[in-house]
Amino acid sequence: MVSADGITKKAVPALIIAAAAVFGFLIFSARFSQAIGGIWDRDLLLWLNSFAASHQYVWQLANNSLFRGFPVFFSLGALWFADDSRERRSRMLAGFLATCVATVLSVWMQFHLATHTRPLLDPAIPLNFAAPSWDWDRRNSFPSDTSTLFFALATVIFLENRLVGLFCLVWVAVVVAVPRVIFAWHYPTDIVGSLVWGLACVLLFSTYLRTLFERTLILFEHRMYIVHALVLMFLIEASDLFLSLQSLGKILVQLAG
């Protein structure tokens, strides 16, 4: 039996349980990260910082939207427009929603989980070289929201094409995630938490919400140009880390206050 919203009745409690388990695991990971932060977590951070932080081109490449995002966003666009497979597109839409949820919650956790201070802002850590100054509104660093976003998108690709998806996951780890440790924005465990969080959310949503999006695509069968436009807008915003949406949200909060 399938309910009106496209999710099987048996899947609803399973989705709730799975979501609670994933979120609970992430909270546990945050506490684990906090507990071991003074052991190998800090040592690995200092080693990476002393090894490569003096090379400014590493930072510039890691934060160049075109360079860091090309394999991921090119692959997503190619997969979306490859053919008219409703099943594949519904999985991708579920993955895109999961990416949004995972990124928003990772930012929320940086505000509300006192795991550990960003290494860059901790005067007790003898950094060799740090990233350019930034106006920080989140002192906690677990997990990395940027890494979460990119790991989640790479997982969307992996579900559709294992080889390309694996390449994108490695690319994200090397080009996006590791430099954020090198320049002391995050601890290594922040990156591991991002990987687990992004991957788990995409797998969860793709498993339990695919049918819902498949039915939505049926409704828009003769107006797919609307879906295409929304997907393009999502990819554009995601490539820029949703900075426009963040800015808009801050403006709305100020107006409401």
Tens digit of each residue's pLDDT (9 = 90 or more) over 130-146: 555 666 677 888 889 99
Neighbours of 187 (CB within 10 A): 29
Paired tokens of 236? 């554009």
Q: Residue range 154-169: average pLDDT?
A: 96
The pLDDT of residue 1 is 38
The pLDDT of residue 5 is 45
23 versus 244: the higher-pLDDT residue is 244
The answer to whether 139 touches 117, Cβ cutoff 8 Å, is yes
- Residue 10: is its pLDDT beyond 60? no
DSSP labels for 202-257? HHHHHHHSHHHHHHHHHHTTT-HHHHHHHHHHHHHHHHTTTHHHHHHHHHHHHHH-
Query: 25 falls in which pLDDT band (50, 70, 90)?
Result: low
- Residue 154: is its pLDDT beyond 60? yes
